Amino acid sequence: MIAKKICFAEAIALIIILVINRIILGVPKSLLVNSAFSATLTIIFVSIITILIILLINKLFKKFIASDILDISEFLAGNYLKKFVGILYIILFMGISILCLSYICDVLKSIYFESNDKLFLALFFIVGIAIVNRMGFNAVIKSNLIIVILTTIIMIIMFILSIQLFVPERFFPLFGFGIKENYFASLTDVFAFSGLAYIMLIFPFFKNTQDFYKTNIISTIIISIYLLISTICLLLVFPNSVISESIFNMYVLARLADLGEFLRNTDCIYLLFWILSIFSYLSINMFFITNIFKKITNIKNSTATIYSFSLILFVSILLINNITSYNFLLNTVYKYYMITVIVLSIIILILANIKKKKNLPKLK
Amino acid sequence: MNNLKNKILSFLDNLFIYKETNKYDFFLPEKDSEKESTQKEEKAENSKQTDYEDIFPNININLEYMQIKYNALINSDVVIREFNLIAKNNEYKAFLIYLDGMVDSNMINDFILKPLMLRNRANTYVKDNQNKSITIVKNNLGIKKVKKFNLEEYIFNSLVPQNSIKKHTKFKDAISDINSGNCILFVDTISTVFSLEVKGFKARSIGEPSNEIIVRGSQEAFVEVIRTNTSILRRLVNNENLIIENIDVGKISKTKVAVCYLNNIASEDLVYEVKYRINNLDIDTLISSGQLEQLIQDDSTIFPQMISTERPDKAVNYLFEGRVVIIVNGSPYVLIAPGVLVDYLSSPEDLNLKHQYSNILKLIRLIAYFFALLLPGLYIAITTYHQELIPTELLLAIASSRETVPFPLLFEIIIMELSFELIREAGLRVPSPIGPTIGIVGALILGEAAVSAGIVSPILIIIVAITGISSFAIPDFSLSFTLRLLRFVFLILGAVAGFLGIALGIFVYLCFISNLKSFGVPYTSPYIPNTNFSNTTTSFFTKPIWKREKRPSFLNPKKEYEEGKISMLWKKSKKEE
């Protein structure tokens, strides 16, 4: 078991990689389209709400040290609920993996590999995920820490370089399109903090259980900063109409940010590190999928599970034919599905806490 | 037919039927809590409290104490010779203690043991007036005083024909002399010992290191003889806590393998693990440390997992950190366990230079590391898929240089890389006077001719040359090998899918090194997992020598601190004045 324990920095990196990928894949765009410059206010507002949710989750987990949502579901209503919740989470992770893989393959195909098939590009990701997951959790988590550090450095460089492209007039309208659009409509943007779903599952992996609570708060703050900076950069560089029409905003931003006269088009360097972060993200997703599957089925052979899910992932990307269907699935289906799963998990946590409280006097 | 059927069935079984893997997994526990460390240090301090200061007149107590102090039961090079000393025809119990390999055995036999043990004129001579009583008259009273025989003076003056002999009454002086190569004589009934200078280790003539050359620092190298090597370590460590345990490996060859560690620093778990692995080898012969390395490493991968060195100063530095040094008889290279990635990018020179210089050199080595691994792969990826990264002028230069080349880029690079490897291999194999000539001829003439013939482009020669030079800049030979092999993998990945392929390679590579362990220590320590690497001796960028206070925590050493909070006390005292 010691081999599967993670330290504080690794846990933070695990949550951050999720949001880095969400940023690369266009979460800021979906935030910006609704609320113009007030998107920054929206992010601050959503961050505060997320931190409150995190505090609630921390409090609810206090009675279930080193347990994940599956263990808690089992405690609440037995094996059936555990399996049901497990399947919900597998669908959640599988869904986002399919969306992510399909999107990055489409983008790579349109930028660099026009003559290659989408499946050929996906094969590279699938091979990487399968190999790395066979090495084990330790390999995925530790390499993820390195990748997060590298990607963060690269993104900071990109943000700094993009300052020269800022157009101050784009600050306006400063408060967006009104309170309703800014705050009430944006409540669903909590989905930008997709790390919430992982928080429900990572508690058993901590070396020091106290780190779990710290990780949740700190990672949420870092995610907020990340989202805020990327949103500001996109807002001040592109007009709102361009943002809503562009497919891969961050890539376009990277293309515009020059490294002096000599190195003008450095976008492929950013892309190299983004691909790395997507590899890491998909591998972490695959780890959670196989781990949940093993937990709900008691299967011992993780290798066969990894291959099976990798194959499903590989074939499933054919379901998404174009960017429009991708946008629909991400912004409508996945967004609400994720919120449902998180709300359901919180309800399970609350009920389990009540049950535990009721059981205590009996034990005494 | 049946055989084939069985083979197919067994293959399908292996493919689909789950078998519980029984992987050997050892983890070196990390020192993570302050409490634990203080407890350990307290324990070490308590054990220190049993230290005696003065030498006892009872030889049995002295003998027992020295045996404990030097771990004589397990320390293979500590020799305690018990005998009966003859003085004035009386026999006294005595013993000699010295470190094998550091003394001249002939001198001990001829000039210490012979005069002390064998009956001769000197030790059997009894004067008539010995123990003569003297009568002193005091206040009209005659007091008869018997002059006692002084054994200490007698041995010093008459029995040991040595030019350099010192008397000590404290254990610490005696121990210090033993560590520096003297032989100590303990005699029953007297609380003084005799330190006899019989140093006999081989010094400068041992030979210079041929593969790990440095400018500043020791110019001494290990040799093939295990005892000479242990004596070099003894001389440099100069402390009784250095344990050298001998283990015989190989059912036929019975090769002597010495496991060396500092008893008061190295983690017990680490030492036990090293001994456990060496003791559990079922092989007939062992010829070199390279073979032993492959037999006791954690995983069978292309990455080096133990540091191999011919430099005693490097080995001693690692001993002081809490690592274990393994010496194989017949091999001039010793192994150091565990080894982490940062170690393979460090040179022994780094410790002799100011930290600013060594950090710059390390940065250059890091760049060389990436060039050696990725440069050809990146070149092919950029020129094939990501041309927009290259400035237009440079792109035109590359395109024009490739105009006459009939081969695809991948084929061109593989030809050049293979030629370079051939030249390198030929340079190593041919006799040494011709070796450098082969390299120069190969590189200059062959390269020039290949460009003129239009087989390769000039820019590719530059790429291959930079890659080759970068691989030479890696201080560790084994790591350099690893990079040479992996370079071809990255080359193919870059050719197949540009940066996507390179990213796949880097990702698998990172996961692989993150998963690797050397004697239970993660290969990416001290950075990932994030152990305490500030102010330690093992970190990629070194701090000034006065700030390297701690030993690396991933080694779980018994003593955490290597130097005081303020190591340059002279500065502090000057300020106080």
Please give the tally of structural domains in chain A: 1
Confidence of residue B315 (pLDDT cuts 50, 70, 90): very high
CA dist., res. A153 & res. B376, Å (int): 25
Q: According to the model, what pLDDT value does residue A78 have?
A: 87
Mean pLDDT, range A149-170, rounded to an integer: 84
Interface with B, mutate which of A113, A124, A207, A294 (most B CBs under 10 A): A124
Which among B389, B504, B528 has CB closest to A266? B389
Asked if the model's pLDDT at residue B49 lies above 60, the reply is: no
pLDDT class of B576 with cuts at 50, 70, 90: low
Yes or no: say if A36 and A240 are a contact pair by the CB < 8 Å rule.
yes
Chain B residues whose beta carbon lies within 8 Å of the beta carbon of residue A108? 500
Distance from CA of A43 to the nearest CA of B (A): 31
Question: Above 70 in pLDDT, residue A364?
Answer: no
Six-digit token string for B314: 């490097």
C-alpha span between B509 and A143 (Å, rounded): 9
Please provide residue B135's backbone torsions phi and psi, each rounded to the nearest 5 degrees: -105, 125
Under DSSP, the state recorded for A168 is G
Partner A, chain B 111-150, Cβ-Cβ below 8 Å:
none
Look at residue A1 and tell me whether its pLDDT is greater than 60.
no
DSSP calls for A73-93? HHHHHHHHHHHHHHHHHHHHH
Q: How far is CA B151 from CA A299, B41, B169, B174, B312, in A?
A: 81, 42, 15, 19, 42
What span, in angstroms and rounded, lies between the C-alpha atoms of B327 and B76? 13
Residue A283 is predicted with a pLDDT of: 93
Which secondary-structure segment (H or E) carries B502? helix B477-515
Q: What are the tens digits of pLDDT across the range A186-219? A: 666 666 666 778 888 888 888 888 888 888 889 8
Which tens digit of pLDDT belongs to each residue from B138-156? 666 666 666 667 788 888 8
**Residue B403 — pLDDT band, cuts 50, 70, 90?**
confident
From the centroid of its chain, how far is CA B437? 34
Residues A44, A330: contact at Cβ < 8 Å?
no
Whole-number pLDDT of residue A299:
80
Lowest mean per-residue pLDDT among A272-276, B556-560, B564-568: B564-568
The predicted structure's pLDDT at residue A2: 42
Compute the half-sphere exposure of residue A249: CA atoms within 13 Å on the CB side of its CA.
Answer: 29
* One-letter-per-residue 3-state SS of A193-253: CCHHHHHHHHHHHECCHHHHHHHHHHHHHHHHHHHHHHHHHHHHHCCHHHHHHCCCHHHHH
Q: Strand B307-309: give its sheet, edge to edge.
A: B242-249, B255-262, B324-328, B334-337, B307-309
Q: Over 70: is that where the pLDDT of B422 sits? A: yes
Partner-chain contact A279 B504, CB within 8 Å = yes
The answer to whether the Cβ–Cβ distance between A304 and B385 falls below 8 Å is: no
- Return the percentage of chain A with pLDDT > 90, whole number: 20
Contact present, B220 and B208 (Cβ < 8 Å): yes
Contact A276 B18 (CB under 8 A): no
Q: Which residues contact A263 (CB under 8 A, 6 or more apart)?
A: B389, B391
- pLDDT for the residue B512: 92
Between A304-318, B23-37, B515-529, the lowest mean confidence (pLDDT) is in B23-37
Question: ∠ at Cα B25 (B21, B30), nearest 5°?
Answer: 150
User: Residue B196 in contact with residue B329, Cβ under 8 Å?
Assistant: no
Residues from chain B that touch A283, judged by Cβ atoms under 8 A, are 507, 511
Mean pLDDT of A12-29: 77
Angle, alpha carbons B92-B95-B100 (nearest 5°): 160
CA neighbor of A283 nearest in space, from A149, A151, A148, A136: A136
Residue B259: what pLDDT? 95
CB-CB under 8 Å, A121 with B385: no
Give A1's contacts in chain B (Cβ within 8 Å).
none
What's the gap in Å between the CA of B217 and the closest CA on chain A? 35
Note whether A135 contacts B511, CB cutoff 8 Å.
yes
CATH number at residue A61: 1.20.1740.10
A143, A265, A272: residue with CB nearest B499: A272
The answer on pLDDT for B32 being more than 60 is no
Alpha-carbon span A337 to A261, nearest angstrom? 47
Residues 149-208 of A with CB under 8 A from B: none
Q: Is B15 exposed, middle or buried (0-12, 13-18, 19+ CB in 10 A)?
A: exposed
Dump the DSSP string for B515-544.
Answer: H-EETTEETTTTTTTT---TTBSSSSSPPP
CB contact under 8 A, A132 and B16: no
pLDDT at residue B443 in the model: 73
Across the interface, whether the CB atoms of A269 and B514 are under 8 A apart is answered no
In this structure, of A52-66, B29-43, B543-557, the range with the lowest mean pLDDT score is: B29-43
Q: Is A59 on the interface with B (CB under 8 A)?
A: no
The arithmetic mean of pLDDT across residues B196-218, rounded, is 72
E strand or H helix at B166, and its extent?
Answer: strand B165-168
Dihedral sign (CA B518, B520, B523, B525): negative
Per-residue pLDDT, averaged over B473-487, amounts to 90
Structure tokens at B346: 């460090």
Q: How far apart are CA B194 and CA B186, in angstroms?
A: 7
Tell me the pLDDT band of B510, cut-offs 50, 70 and 90. very high
More confident: A80 or B569: A80
H/E element, A327: helix A323-328
Q: What is residue A222's predicted lDDT score, i.e. its pLDDT?
A: 87
Percent of residues in chain B assigned helix, strand, coil, to nearest 5: 50, 15, 35
In this structure, is the dihedral angle defined by the CA atoms of residues A307, A308, A314 and A315, taken in order, positive or negative?
A: positive
* Residue-level pLDDT at B307: 93
Q: Determine the length of chain A.
A: 364
Residue B249: predicted pLDDT: 92
Nearest Cβ partner for A135 among B25, B512, B522: B512
Residue A63 structural domain: 2-363
For B:381-440, CB contacts with A below 8 A are 382, 385-386, 388-389, 391
Mean pLDDT of all residues in A12-31: 76
Residue B41 has pLDDT above 60, yes or no: no
Q: Do A132 and B508 touch (CB under 8 A)?
A: yes
Q: Measure CA B188 to chain center.
A: 40
Map residue B84 onto helix, strand or coil.
strand
Rounded to the nearest angstrom, the minimum Cα separation between B391 and chain A is 6
Helix (H, G, I), strand (E, B) or coil at B245: strand
Record: contact A142-B528, CB cut-off 8 A: yes
Q: How far is A44 from chain B (nearest CA, A)?
A: 31
The region that residue B157 occupies, defined by phi over 0 for left and psi between -120 and 50 for alpha, beta otherwise, is alpha
Q: Which residues pair with B199 in a beta bridge?
A: B103
Which residue out of B18, B20, B511, B513 would a mutagenesis test of the A interface target, given it has the greatest number of A Cβ atoms within 10 Å? B511
How high is the mean pLDDT of chain B? 83
Whether residue B207 is predicted with pLDDT greater than 80 in this model: the reply is: no
The nearest alpha carbon in chain B to A261 belongs to B391
Mean pLDDT in residue range A29-55: 77
pLDDT bucket at B444, cuts 50 / 70 / 90: confident
Among A58, A346, A42, A3, which Cα is nearest to A219's? A58
Q: In angstroms, rounded to a whole number, what is the distance separating the alpha carbons of residues B71 and B164?
A: 28
Instruction: Report the pLDDT value the prediction gives residue A314, as an integer from 0 to 100.
Output: 92
Confidence band of B28 (pLDDT split at 50, 70, 90): confident
- The answer, yes or no, to whether residue A362 has pLDDT greater than 60, is no
Mean pLDDT of B516-539: 79
Q: Phi and psi of B527, rounded to 5°? A: -85, -45
pLDDT band at B545 (very low <50, low <70, confident <90, very high): confident
List pLDDT tens digits, range A112-148. 888 888 889 999 999 999 999 988 888 888 899 899 9
**pLDDT band per the 50, 70, 90 thresholds, residue A269:** confident
- Name every chain A residue with its beta carbon within 8 A of the beta carbon of B12: none
The pLDDT value recorded for residue B45 is 53
Q: Which residue matches tokens 């919180």? A: A346
ipTM value for the complex: 0.90
pLDDT score recorded for residue B534: 66
Q: Which residue has the tokens 């013993």?
A: B95
Partners of A301 on chain B (C-beta within 8 Å) are: 18
Contact between B388 and A143 using a beta-carbon 8 Å cutoff: no
Q: Which residue of B has its CA nearest to A267?
A: B389
Judged by CB atoms closer than 8 Å, whether chains meet at B511 and A131 is answered as yes
Q: Which residues in chain A have their CB less than 8 angstroms from residue B27's CB?
A: 2-3
Closest residue by Cα to residue B365 from B172, B105, B541, B185: B541
Name the closest residue on chain A to residue B510, using Cα atoms.
A143
Q: Chain A neighbours among B 487-546 (CB < 8 Å)? A: 497-504, 506-508, 510-512, 514-515, 522, 524, 528-530
Taking CB atoms and an 8 Å limit, are A268 and B529 in contact across chains?
Answer: no
Residue found by looking up tokens 């440099």 in the block:
B236
Q: What angle do CA B280, B283, B284 make, to 5 degrees?
A: 140
State how far the Cα of A107 lies from the Cα of A102, in Å rounded to an integer. Answer: 9
Would the CB atoms of A301 and B504 count as touching at under 8 Å? no
Residue with more model confidence, A205 or A178: A205
Model pLDDT for residues B387-396, shown as the tens digit of each residue: 888 888 888 8
**A148 CB near a chain B CB, below 8 Å?**
no
How many other C-beta atoms lie within 10 A of the C-beta of residue B175? 19
Dist. CA B218–CA B214, nearest whole Å? 8
Q: Residue B262's pLDDT band (boundaries 50, 70, 90)? A: very high
Provide the chain A residues 278-317 that lie in CB contact (below 8 A) with chain B: 279-280, 283, 300-301, 304
How far does the CA of residue B392 sit from the closest CA of chain A (Å)? Answer: 9
CB-nearest to A268 from B386, B508, B514 is B386
Average pLDDT over residues A326-348: 85
Average pLDDT, chain A: 82
Can you tell me the distance from the alpha carbon of A210 to that of A217, in angstroms, rounded to the nearest whole number? 12
Q: What is the rounded CA–CA span in Å between residue A186 and residue B58?
A: 89
**CB pairs below 8 Å between A and B: how many?**
103
Q: B20 in contact with A at a CB cutoff of 8 Å? A: yes
Contact B511 A132 (CB under 8 A): yes
Q: Which helix (H) or strand (E) holds B262?
A: strand B255-262
- Predicted confidence (pLDDT) at residue B454 exceeds the cutoff of 50: yes
In this structure, how many other beta carbons lie within 10 angstroms of the beta carbon of residue B247?
16
Q: Give the nearest chain B residue to A112 (CA atoms).
A: B385
Confidence band of A34 (pLDDT split at 50, 70, 90): low
Taking the C-alpha atoms of residue B459 and residue B382, their distance in angstroms, rounded to an integer, is 14
